Structure 1
Amino acid sequence: MARKDDLTGKGALSGNNRSHALNATKRKWNVNLQKVKVVDEKGNVKTIKVSARTLRTLKKAEKLA
């Protein structure tokens, strides 16, 4: 499964590690994914993977199961 936020589609970013000598090696910054249960429009409870930022937004909107 892809390491992506199921709601926003936010995924990993790529870039470089930089040593003191400024040597570059590739690396990835992964999204901080959390599994949460949400209630959809029909009242069904579903488990989805969302980023920590999205989780904060869901808590404010009171959309969690």
Structure 2
Amino acid sequence: MARKDGLTGKGALSGNSRSHAMNANKRKWNLNLQKVQVMDEAGKVMTLRVSARTLRTLKKQNRLAK
């Protein structure tokens, strides 16, 4: 399963880790994925893996299944 947000489709970021000598090593910033039950517009409940940022938005919109 890909490390992607189930709603927004956002994935991991990539870049370099730099030492004090400016040596570059490839690294990856993964998402903070959480399993959550979400209710769609029709009232259907589904389980998705969403990022913590998306989870905040869902809580604000009151779209989490109780």
- Shorter-chain TM-score category? over 0.9
* Farther-moved stretch of structure 1 (11-20 vs 38-47): 38-47
Moved runs in structure 1, 4+ residues, more than 4 A? Answer: none
What does residue range 31-46 of structure 1 map to in structure 2 within 5 Å? Answer: 31-46=31-46
RMSD: 0.8
**SS of equivalent to 1:7:** coil
How far the C-alpha of 1:39 sits from its partner, in A, is 1.2
Alignment coverage as a number of residue pairs: 65
Name structure 1 gaps, 5 residues minimum.
Answer: none
Q: Sequence identity of aligned pairs in percent?
A: 77
Q: Distance in 1 between matches of 2:32 and 2:54?
A: 10
How far the C-alpha of 1:40 sits from its partner, in A, is 1.9
Q: Normalising to structure 1: TM-score of the pair?
A: 0.94
Q: Normalising to structure 2: TM-score of the pair?
A: 0.92
Q: Distance in 2 between matches of 1:11 and 1:31?
A: 7
AA in 2 matched with 1:50: V
In structure 2, the partner of 1:25 is 25
